[in-house]
Amino acid sequence: MTATVRPGVFFKVPATLPRGPHQLAREDVEWAQRQRLLIAFTELLADRGYGKLRIGDLTKRAAVSNKTFYELFETKEMCACAAYGRFVKVIVRMATEAGLYTSTTWRGYIQASVEGYLGALAADPVVARAFQFEMDLISGQARELRRSVAARFAEERLAKQEAIRKTDRRLKQRPLSSHLAAVLGMREVACDLLAGSEHPDFIAMVPELVDWVITAWYDEPPAVS
């Protein structure tokens, strides 16, 4: 049986739409249908992979018609990109809540970044498998989206590095390529965990990954405060 996503983490599970005439606004109906399609896509992607994911199976699971699917998404790949976009938003939200934008030290910034990323994966294993493992096998527009997201995270890290170096000259001035390597390296670690276990312990990896990045940006890592 295909596993289901955890309600309220990455997606809000809409109530079942009433049959026959109703007073719901068209926007509310479309929102509910879109949510159900994104949820169904994520669950099927994690279960069978993109190549075996058929529109008919997707719409059946979401309880909408094929016509409705194509009214909301032009292609299966566009649905994939929309679902992946939601995944990224939650990672950013969780990292923000961990102190990503308020941290004043490199350790604090990296701690929030890693906690947000791995915390999001731990929050819903089905979503983690869909977008960290199966999504990496999709080419075209989806691949470009993944590349642009990784590049954006790397650019934000570079900007934070330069801001922190104004008060911490021990912090090394690494180029954008180093930040991108760190971002992609974490993703590879996550994929390896997913490939090796049905129940990967993402949270256990937080201290190790934080120390790895800190060590790479200092000759002598600063003491933990």
Q: Write down the domain spans for the chain.
A: 26-73, 77-216
**CATH number given to 26-73:** 1.10.10.60
CB-based burial of residue 110 (10 Å sphere; 0-12 exposed, 13-18 middle, 19+ buried)?
buried
pLDDT digits (tens, 9 = 90+) for 1-29: 789 999 889 998 776 655 655 666 778 78
Task: Note the pTM of the prediction, 2 decimals.
Answer: 0.90
State the Cα–Cα distance between residues 94 and 89, nearest whole angstrom: 9
Judged on CB neighbours under 10 Å (0-12, 13-18, 19+), 31 is middle
- Residue 221 has a pLDDT of 59
**pLDDT for residue 89 is more than 70:** yes
Task: Give alpha helix (H) positions in 102-199.
Answer: 106-123, 125-129, 141-165, 176-196
CA-to-CA dists, residue 196 to 9, 97, 138, 167, 200, angstroms? 24, 29, 21, 42, 8
Read off the pLDDT of each residue in 213-224 and give the average, rounded to a whole number.
Answer: 81
pLDDT score recorded for residue 22 = 60
d(CA 12, CA 34): 11
| pLDDT band at residue 103 using 50, 70 and 90 as cut-offs | very high
Domains 26-73 and 77-216 share a fold: no
- The 10s digit of each residue's pLDDT in 34-45 is 999 999 999 999
pLDDT band at 84 (very low <50, low <70, confident <90, very high): very high
Mean predicted confidence (pLDDT) in 70-87:
95
Higher pLDDT, 126 or 28: 126
Characterize 205-217 residue by residue with b for buried, 16 or more Cβ atoms within 10 angstroms of its Cβ, and e for exposed.
bbeebbebbbeeb
77-216 CATH: 1.10.357.10
Give just the sign of the alpha carbon dihedral 161, 166, 168, 169: positive
Q: Are 78 and 141 in contact (CB under 8 A)?
A: yes
pLDDT of residue 127 exceeding 80, the answer is yes
Which residues, including other chains, have CB under 8 Å from residue 66's CB and lie 6 or more apart?
55, 56, 59
Q: To the nearest whole number, what is the mean pLDDT of the chain?
A: 91
Given a contact cutoff of 8 angstroms between Cβ atoms, the answer to whether 136 and 84 are in contact is: no
Give pLDDT, residue 59.
Answer: 96
Looking up tokens 């995270």 gives: 153
Cα–chain center distance at 28: 25
